[in-house]
Amino acid sequence: MGGKKKPTISQLAKKESKEKEQTEKKGKGKGKAAEEPVKKIVATVPAELYDQIAKDVQKMEYVTTYLISSKYGLKMGAASRVLNDLVKRGELVLVSRSHRMNVYTPVDRAKKLGLINQ
């Protein structure tokens, strides 16, 4: 039980400064920059796929992030961003929200169910 103890803040600071010094020394010896800029990978949805999702969502009774993610092979975060954008555009209505998932429905279906005023 227990496990290894965590280092103190001062120990972490010392370790960080030593690592920086070592990388600077290695970089100077080779003549290259010590650190190269890290490329961020941003999950974006192509416009064609976004339009297809917007069309298909209008035909569904309800929509969740998981449904979009599994149907179109997107990551859950990307599917969530698409659905949030469709809500901002006024094509979907948020019906139920919990800490795990959100349930959406198209605007015309929400009007039929009386969820929003006409």
Q: Convert the pLDDT of each residue in 28-68 to its tens digit.
A: 655 555 556 665 555 688 889 999 999 999 999 999 999 99
Mean pLDDT of the chain: 86
pTM of the shown model: 0.62
In a domain, 55, yes or no: yes
Residue 93: pLDDT band with limits 50, 70, 90: very high
In a domain, 9, yes or no: no
- The closest alpha carbon to 43, from 88, 86, 77, 66, belongs to 77
Q: Please name the amino acid found at residue 36.
A: E
In a domain, 32, yes or no: no
In a domain, 5, yes or no: no
- Mean pLDDT for 81-100 is 93
In a domain, 24, yes or no: no
In a domain, 101, yes or no: yes
CATH of residue 58's domain is 1.10.10.10
- The closest alpha carbon to 63, from 98, 100, 101, belongs to 101
In a domain, 14, yes or no: no
Q: Are 104 and 83 in contact (CB under 8 A)?
A: yes
Q: What are phi and psi of 33, to 5 degrees?
A: -65, 145
In a domain, 94, yes or no: yes
Query: What total number of domains does the chain contain?
Result: 1
